[in-house]
Amino acid sequence: MLGSGFIGRFYADSLQGQRSRDKIVSIYSRREESAKKFAEDYQVAHWTTDMEASIAHPEVEVVCISLPNNLHEAAVNLCCKHKKAVICTKPLGRNAEEAKRMLEAVEKAGIFNGYLEDLVYTPKFLKALESVQNGALGRILWAKSRETHPGPHSEWFWDKEQAGGGCILDLGCHCVEIARSFIGKDIKPVEVMCWADTQVKPIDAEDHAIGLVKYENGAIGQFEVSWTFRGGLDLRDEVMGTEGTIWLNSFLRTGFDMFTTGKGADYVAEKAESNSGWLFPVGDELNELGYNHMFTDMFNAMEGNKPARETFYDGYVVNAVLDAAYRSAKSKLWEPVQLDIWRGKTGVGKDKTLTEYDAQYYLVKEEMTHFGAKKLILKDKNSGQIIEKVL
């Protein structure tokens, strides 16, 4: 494990507990006291402040990177040097150029690589994705993902140089991959329109943003991200297709509400702002946030000698989309997604679904009125005239 902070501990809780046969054998931290404390808490035999010593440790089979964004590439290069499988937290890079170098490095080295995008492994998401892929929603037209909270836990997130950006990079990486998964990861994202601003925090990076991602088949992905939202961690997704709709609320309001004066209360849930008043605890954070399913997929894929659901390639595509979002936030224009490496479909046209009513008309809409009659809205195939027909 590279990194002993907030996310490293979340990862450790999950990967040592989910399959009950995976063990952290070495912990690297930049601070000696943190490495020692992590080793003590998780019964890790080897701790060090030398990253390469941890990666090269003879008992290490896979390296889990839970480090600040600016350290990902150096860690990946050491994994390549020592031929160790690597799984990396999100975002993969601070930008697409960094991510591309990491992708090319692991593929040249021939090592297993996994992208730790936990929010596409949540139980609700996996169930929703299965329904979408089985056709329950028809053709996907629009997928929206929202992640907002009062801001990240560690100091490096707030430093634009170390992090590479603000809430777009930190939270938008989740949202883009969620929408991309629903629309189809083989459908190319082509351009982005984004608004971003620094509204509240005394930082150089953006603390709030909204973006639209246009896909080659005409579908639209939308992200809403903020480090200024008050009230906890808000994770919501919406998917709309020609045959249906899915709404997901993954964290803030999940059917577990509690009121307390604060007596005896301590930790409630990730990014909860208070331990008194009306609270929204989470029954099993590791599972609800996708960590259990994510690590199970990573290790099962590794042992089965096959790619994980999320690889460095996915991380690279996400970084490329977010790069376009940052360019758009500055230019106030639609900006193209620049993908030097694309392994999905090409030349996909915008689908048009025309429902036949009869030889003369297309069906626009059918509805039952409040007075018991069926109403049809029809379009003449030749003239284009829209008519109304009551049965």
Choose among 356, 378, 382: nearest CA to 366. Answer: 378
Are 183 and 285 found together in one domain? yes
Residue-range definition of the domain harbouring residue 377: 361-390
| One-character DSSP codes across 264-300 | T----STT---SSEEE---S-HHHHTTHHHHHHHHHH
Domain assignment present for 352: no
Residue 98 lies in a domain: no
Q: For the chain, give the longest Cα–Cα distance.
A: 78
Domain count for the chain: 3
pLDDT beneath 50: ranges in the chain: none
Question: Same domain, yes or no, for 382 and 318?
Answer: no
Spatial neighbors of 58 by CB under 8 A, at least 6 apart, are none
| Calpha distance 206→186 (Å, rounded) | 30
Q: What is the pLDDT of residue 133?
A: 96
**pLDDT score at 264:** 63
Q: Looking at this protein, which amino acid is placed at residue 150? A: P
pLDDT tens digits for 316-367? 999 999 999 999 999 999 999 999 999 999 998 887 778 899 999 999 999 9
CA 329 to chain centre: 20
CATH of the domain at 188: 3.30.360.10
Residues 149, 197 within the same domain: yes
Would you state the pLDDT for residue 88?
Answer: 98
Q: 191 and 325, same structural domain?
A: yes
pTM: 0.92
What pLDDT score does 382 carry? 94
Whether 160 is covered by a domain: the verdict is yes
Residues 261 and 186 in one domain: yes
The pLDDT score that the predictor gives to residue 106 is 98
Q: What is the pLDDT of residue 18?
A: 76
Query: Do residue 138 and residue 285 come from a single domain?
Result: yes
